[in-house]
Amino acid sequence: MRTIDHHIVGGAAGAAARTGEVFDPNSGQVQARVALGTTADLDRAVAAAQAAQPAWAATNPQRRARVMFRFKELVEANMEELARTLSSEHGKVIADAKGDIQRGLEVIEFACGIPHVLKGEYTHGAGPGIDVYSMRTPIGIGAGITPFNFPAMIPMWMFGVAIACGNAFILKPSERDPSVPVRLAELMREAGLPEGVLQVVHGDKEMVDAILDHPAIGAISFVGSSDIAHYVYRRGVDAGKRVQAMGGAKNHGIVMPDADLDQVVADLSGAAFGSAGERCMALPVVVPVGEKTADALREKLIPAIAALRVGVSTDAEAHYGPVVNAAHKQRVESWIQTGVDEGAELVVDGRGFTLQGHEQGFFIGPTLFDRVTTDMSAYREEIFGPVLQIVRAPDFETAVRLPSEHQYGNGVAIFTRNGHAAREFAARVNVGMVGINVPIPVPVAYHTFGGWKRSAFGDTNQHGMEGVKFWTRVKTVTQRWPDGGTGEGANAFVIPTMG
């Protein structure tokens, strides 16, 4: 059985003392083992990063951009291999795996424009003979701790911008599906990135804590559950680091009475159940406004859910595949039972789903609840599986209030033909990302990704210009070049003042 090792300059330190299991979610069998690193492994990675980063930061932005261009070409050339590897460890179908990679590449495309976005500000003549200018300088060494559900996209969100800005980067991917992040690091090296600028270390909490505590790591980006995001944020900030920590979500889809219900149902089929619901931007709660809207929506949802095809990740006809491992399958099914116990109406039960020839795989059928209420823990908490909940709202004001008062504030969507209602909703809802007739409102790469409330800790979002700000610091220079005069006050330095 193969062992997935670190991607560290100088080679591995020998056989890992501890390893974790990497499953094939389609069969339920262990397909590989991943080395679980130690503080010593991180120290080696940091030492290599410290050796490589100054020269990389001194490399002009055009040359750094060329590495990004070449990396993009290499990822596209290896798309099939990467997608199949990703699919085999995560369980998402090949089409979703390619989408995972493509959305990451869009941030790489943004990073290719780094010469432009790193330009500073300049004021000529801020005072007598005085010019002021600013420059964006790299943090030094950054680190990323990424989740299992997007093993290509989220690492590229982080390291693409960080490296383009002149930093070295240490990636700690999920130990559940670690192969694609290692392969991406190999392709970056093939693209011309100097050794030591991007490295991958594997591990569990021991490695996470080592990253949070290491004094040479200046900035950390994290995506995962909210409880762990809060832990990462507090511990990292206490250690004097810049931290952005993205947490969980419970995204709502508001369905107004004038919405195109056929389109809403088609959107919900993908947004709620695609990738087995293992997405922080999934749409697991639908809020129809008015009983008539709710009844009509439910009537259309039931046959649409019955038509969904659950299959192995290589099945080109499947809408989604298995969840990532047995523990997560058990967790999702436990939440379904909790919903039943709390009094929600279980309309479609996805538990007990099996696939012929893959009876030990981690499959869950699509599940639909109706008459879910806000006091239910199954509503308050993130399920992260193929479960859709209907929460009926009597009016527009209630529909605005539900996502606004929820503990999570990642994304929200409204479906309507009424421009005034959409505008009012977008302005008032207390959520970080809003979709108007768009079920999964993930912004394009040159904008920025980030939620509110317990969905994000820290003041700076992912990618776009927010990402550039996170991975750099501003240095402001005030300069004067004396003209060589000898008269009284000729070389006096005068700070410009207001008025």
Question: Would 342 be classed as within a structural domain?
Answer: yes
Same domain, yes or no, for 339 and 235?
no
Q: How do the pLDDT tens digits run along the chain, 499 residues long?
A: 788 988 987 655 456 689 999 999 999 999 999 999 999 999 999 999 999 999 999 999 999 999 999 999 999 999 999 999 999 999 999 999 999 999 999 999 999 999 999 999 999 999 999 999 999 999 999 999 999 999 999 999 999 999 999 999 999 999 999 999 999 999 999 999 999 999 999 999 999 999 999 999 999 999 999 999 999 999 999 999 999 999 999 999 999 999 999 999 999 999 999 999 999 999 999 999 999 999 999 999 999 999 999 999 999 999 999 999 999 999 999 999 999 999 999 999 999 999 999 999 999 999 999 999 999 999 999 999 999 999 999 999 999 999 999 999 999 999 999 999 999 999 999 999 999 999 999 999 999 999 999 999 998 999 999 999 999 999 999 999 987 655 555 555 566 565 5
Q: Which of 53, 47, 50, 41 is nearest to 12 (CA)?
A: 41
Question: Would 491 be classed as within a structural domain?
Answer: no
Measured distance CA(8)–CA(183) in Å, rounded:
13
Region of 133 (left: φ > 0; alpha: ψ -120 to 50; beta: rest) is: beta
Same domain, yes or no, for 239 and 276?
no
Question: Would 73 be classed as within a structural domain?
Answer: yes
User: Which of 280, 318, 400, 402 does the annotation list as catalytic?
Assistant: 280
Measured distance CA(394)–CA(38) in Å, rounded:
54
Write out the two tokens for 274.
């695609």
Measured distance CA(416)–CA(424) in Å, rounded:
12
Q: Structurally, how many domains does the chain consist of?
A: 2
Domain assignment of residue 117, given as a range: 3-247+455-477
Write out the two tokens for 310.
């659950």
First to last CA, the chain: 74
- Give, in order, the Cα–Cα distances in Å from 449 to each of 165, 285, 442: 18, 20, 7
Domain containing residue 426: CATH number: 3.40.309.10
Measured distance CA(144)–CA(244) in Å, rounded:
10
Measured distance CA(162)–CA(111) in Å, rounded:
9
Measured distance CA(324)–CA(386) in Å, rounded:
12
Same domain, yes or no, for 70 and 109?
yes
Active site residue 165: no
Same domain, yes or no, for 82 and 227?
yes
Q: How many CA atoms lie within 13 A of 10 on its CB side?
A: 16
Measured distance CA(285)–CA(274) in Å, rounded:
14
Strand partners, 138: 472
| Pairing relationship of beta strands 367-370 and 345-348 according to DSSP bridges | antiparallel
pTM for this structure? 0.93
